[in-house]
Amino acid sequence: MPTALLSTYDKTGLVDFARQLHARGWQLLASGGTARALEAAGLPVTPVSAVTGEPEMLDGRVKTLHPAIHAGILARDTEEDRAAVASRGWPLIDMVVVNLYPFEEVAARPETTLAEAVEMIDIGGVTLLRAAAKNFARVTVLCDPADYAEALAPADPAAFRLRMAQKAFARTLAYDAAIQRYLAAQSEAPQAVHLTLFPANPLRYGENPHQSAACYAAAPDAAPLGATVRYAGKPLSYNNLLDLDAAWRAVQAYDQPAAVVVKHLSPCGVAVGESAAAALPHAIASDPVSAFGSVIAANRPVDEAFVDALSSLFVEAIIAPGFTPEAEARLTQKRKRIRLLERANGLPARETAYRSVLGGFLAQEVDHGDPPETEWRVVTQKQPTAAEMDALRFAWKAVQHVKSNAVLLARPTEGGFATVGIGGGQPNRVDCVRIAGERAGEKAAGSVLASDAFFPFPDGIEEAARLGVTAVVQPGGSIRDRQVIEAADRLGLAMVFTGVRHFRH
């Protein structure tokens, strides 16, 4: 009679799987809460303590760490090993079903203490997985409920055991890496970084056809960007994913309904309004030429009004918290090559961004906006009006997602605000002001301006005044701040310093 050892934190599908094993003649061996769950379901189960002869210890910290368990798992399919285990009266274990304490989930919560995170470090489960995976020649190891059905009748048992062993080692590797990263974050000293990434989406090529590329995710079977691909008229590309990531991060800056248009990794239009559909035309109008072939993000579900606002504009992809059936049907009927991605609003609370450089990597905390303690300071004689301050707040959030140097102009709209001109990615800031003004045209007059970093010279302020800008928000901090402020006073502009820079290179 084959024996299965079950020890799971996540009980998804457990009872049904165990019932089917029992019906096929398997003996069930289980620990702790898993044994109690199977007993409650009326299944015959042998507690681990009955095999080891030892009760659980240390509030359950020690249950399966015993030779009676691990000899039964690690015994090879030889007469000598079988006899050695039998001589002690221990059972051979043919299947190990284990999933681990949810360390990653608990540690990611901002309120989790170090002691609470440490209690979520699984020891016995990891040991069981590694032992069973090592002995895949004889033992089946399952670490994911999604594999239960196939495990009951695999087409090729040996190939299935090998594949499950690979999956188990990938799980323990990722688990240990998550623990190491968390503990490293408790120390100010630089620590080794271990990343485990899983294939997430095939890519035909990279930024250009002659470059090979692949998309990876932090979890097995994860979808690109953590989103559900609702429709893909053609496969997502490397550039699509970069643009969609940038668009989603930008639209998440706003609590109000918002729409963001991104082309080549930088927003070319941002707007908020009474609805995402109301905001979209203003975001497109910010730079209608660049909007062609762009990607669009919305922080509200896409409905038919949104599709109407999109009109006939060609876009590569749309990412949003949802799509109504009518909107999805209309988008895919006329746009056979579009991609639609659905993702719940929000961004991870703790994120680290990595970028490769020659011979290594750079790592930094992701910029999620101003720190909570940020205080704005009016530095000019002219005070911004209440309407200008609202526009400046909108513009300040938008400019943080534009490639540095970044400057944008914004104005009120019916029920919201929108960018009217964006200049970014230039080696000097005054050129960005000029580009933003060229994009805005007549709409520059009466607009407000946001700059992601300080103005090093008065020329940027002088150019803004020439365009008709009435108020400016910038971090301040230049050695020539006094000259810049004097220029604003001389030209009749209001200016606010935030004290926070938002470079995006």
What is the per-residue pLDDT across 58-106, written as a single tens digit (0 to 9) for each?
Answer: 666 666 667 878 788 888 888 888 888 788 787 888 999 998 888 888 8
Domains detected in the chain: 3-185 (3.40.50.1380), 226-365 (3.40.140.20), 373-497 (3.40.140.20)
d(CA 163, CA 266): 41
Q: How confident is the model over 380-390, as a mean pLDDT?
A: 97
Write down the residue that tokens 């399919």 correspond to.
Answer: 77
Strand partners, 474: 497
Q: How many CB atoms lie within 10 A of CB 468?
A: 15
Sign of CA dihedral 303, 305, 307, 313: negative
The active-site residue out of 11, 22, 134, 194 is 134
d(CA 31, CA 146): 21
Q: Residue 53 is encoded by which pair of tokens?
A: 């002869």
pTM: 0.76
Which is more confident, 272 or 107? 272
Of 195-209, 291-305, 395-409, least confident by mean pLDDT is 195-209
Is 401 one of the annotated active-site residues of the chain?
Answer: no
Res. 165: pLDDT tops 80: yes
Closest CA to 406 of 431, 443, 376, 439: 431
147 secondary structure, DSSP code: G
With 0-12 CB in 10 A as exposed, 13-18 as middle and 19+ as buried, what is 275?
buried
- For the chain, percent of residues with pLDDT exceeding 90: 65
pLDDT bracket for residue 380 (50, 70, 90):
very high
Is 264 one of the annotated active-site residues of the chain?
Answer: yes
Q: What is the pLDDT of residue 446?
A: 97
Of 222-231, 460-469, 489-498, least confident by mean pLDDT is 222-231
Count CA within 13 A, CB hemisphere, residue 498: 26
Could you read off the pLDDT of 196-232 as tens digits, one per residue?
788 888 898 999 999 999 999 877 778 889 999 999 9
The active-site residue out of 22, 70, 194, 264 is 264
